[in-house]
Amino acid sequence: MKHRLTITGLIIILITLLLVPFSTTTAQQTTPSRAIVRTDFQFIRQGRVGVVHVTGADIIEVRAVFQERVHYFYQEGNDFVGLLAADMESDIAPYEMQLWIKYADGTGERIDQDIQVESGEFGRSDVTISQRLVPLLDQKVEDAEMARLFNILNRFTPERYWANSWFIAPSTDEPIGWFGTYRLFNETYWKRHTGVDVRMAIGTPIMAMADGRVMLTEMMDIRGNYTLIDHGWGIYSGYAHQSEFLVVPGQWVRQGDVIGLSGLNGRSAGAHLHWEMSVAGTWIDPETFVEMKLVTPDSTEIVEQP
Ligand SMILES: [Zn+2]
């Protein structure tokens, strides 16, 4: 019995040896990947972020193309980490993530993987603004403001500007409006909500969500007095409708610093703070981003995604 198994084993080895050279030349089989890809999620909801890890020896750079946007990965030792952002307007469908990996020896590799995007389960609400603000219910006004903002939001700063801690909400006050909501203004004009609204009396301090660099403080048509902070790694936070700016462009801020006071200018139905975040050039749900905890390079604290 033992003898026979040995012969069978030998035959299998011989067949394998004979077949291998043929199979590698005939089949369109590439060499095994030098990188290991791991996702921290099974799917990404519309308007949310999923974390992708790429690990392997001698990797010097990783980029992903997902939903036609480039996502740059940052390095943590041997691990390259990417924050994959699903557009809130994207269809519920699988999307191809193309990973482009560059190695120290000058070679490169592309790995494709399907990423499922699921519903963001967005609500709807009615908003009534004063007649004086009705001219702001205009797609051209929206487009001009978006062009101004995305000129900055599409830029990727490779440095990580914040320190050990993850992002915090800019206010502990109660939210009154949620990300992604389908909003009907004055019973006529539909608009998606790009951030979260918090009811705040005029003059209430607004905190920076994380360390970063102030990119602009500007009076905008819809957002009113608006501050935009670059946190590095393609992550930005914005704070709208302020009564007073307390920072200037180019200034470095620390997490929790008071960057301004809340107000009600711009296209606002009442005193509140609208805060929003962009990752890899698309608006994402800032509340789920704050809840999502990630290990950062200098941090020993291990935290998990919800
Ligand atoms: Zn808002």
| pLDDT (0 to 100) of residue 205 | 98
Question: Cα of 194 to ligand 1 centre, how many Å?
Answer: 7
| pLDDT (0 to 100) of residue 22 | 36
Domain boundaries, position 12:
1-30
Question: Cα of 284 to ligand 1 centre, how many Å?
Answer: 13
**Is 277 in the same domain as 152?**
yes
Higher pLDDT, 250 or 23: 250
| pLDDT (0 to 100) of residue 59 | 95
Q: Which residues contact residue 18 at a Cβ distance below 8 angstroms, ignoring those fewer than 6 apart?
A: none
**Is 200 in the same domain as 89?**
no
Question: Cα of 95 to ligand 1 centre, how many Å?
Answer: 29
Q: How many domains does the chain have?
A: 3
**Is 161 in the same domain as 230?**
yes
In this structure, what CATH number is given to the domain that contains residue 87?
A: 2.60.40.1930
Higher pLDDT, 207 or 233: 207
For residue range 92-125, what is the model confidence (pLDDT) as tens digits? Answer: 999 999 999 999 999 999 999 999 999 999 999 9
Of 4-13, 110-119, 134-143, the one with minimum mean pLDDT is 4-13
Question: Cα of 204 to ligand 1 centre, how many Å?
Answer: 16
Please give the average per-residue pLDDT across 207-214, as a whole number.
Answer: 97
Between vectors from CA 239 to CA 206 and to CA 158, what angle results, nearest 5°? 105
| pLDDT (0 to 100) of residue 31 | 67
Question: Cα of 222 to ligand 1 centre, how many Å?
Answer: 10
Q: Which of 52, 47, 30 lies closest to 278 in space, CA to CA? A: 47
Question: Cα of 239 to ligand 1 centre, how many Å?
Answer: 10
Chain-centre distance for alpha carbon 279: 3
Q: Which of 202, 200, 283, 287 lies closest to 235 in space, CA to CA? A: 283
Question: Cα of 207 to ligand 1 centre, how many Å?
Answer: 17
Q: Does residue 266 lie in a domain region?
A: yes
DSSP state, 39? E
Distance CA 235, CA 167 (A): 11
pLDDT at 297 over 90: no
In the β-sheet with 189-192, what is the strand arrangement from edge to edge?
A: 124-127, 182-185, 189-192
The overall average pLDDT reported for the chain is 88
Query: Tokens at residue 191, please?
Result: 């608009």
Q: Does residue 225 lie in a domain region?
A: yes
The enclosing H or E element of 291 equals: helix 286-291
For residue range 236-269, what is the model confidence (pLDDT) as tens digits? Answer: 999 999 999 999 999 999 999 999 999 999 999 8
Question: Cα of 48 to ligand 1 centre, how many Å?
Answer: 17
Higher pLDDT, 2 or 178: 178
| pLDDT (0 to 100) of residue 52 | 96
| pLDDT (0 to 100) of residue 159 | 86
Q: Which residues contact residue 26 at a Cβ distance below 8 angstroms, ignoring those fewer than 6 apart?
A: none
